[in-house]
Amino acid sequence: MATRLEKHIGWLLAITAVIWAAYVLTSMRGFAGAYLRLGPMQLLMAGILLWLHGKYRTAQPDHQEIVPPSHIRPTTKKAA
18-66: pLDDT as tens digits? 998 888 878 876 666 556 568 888 999 999 999 999 888 888 776 555 5
d(CA 17, CA 43): 6
Q: Tell whether 28 is covered by a domain.
A: yes
Q: Tell whether 48 is covered by a domain.
A: yes
d(CA 16, CA 43): 8
Closest CA to 14 of 68, 57, 51: 51
Model pTM? 0.64
Q: Tell whether 29 is covered by a domain.
A: yes
Q: Tell whether 76 is covered by a domain.
A: no
- First-last CA distance in the chain: 57
Q: Tell whether 77 is covered by a domain.
A: no
For residues 5-25, average pLDDT: 90
Q: Tell whether 51 is covered by a domain.
A: yes
Name the domain count of the chain: 1
Q: Tell whether 21 is covered by a domain.
A: yes
Domain, as residue range, for 37: 3-59
d(CA 60, CA 69): 19
Largest CA distance in the chain: 88
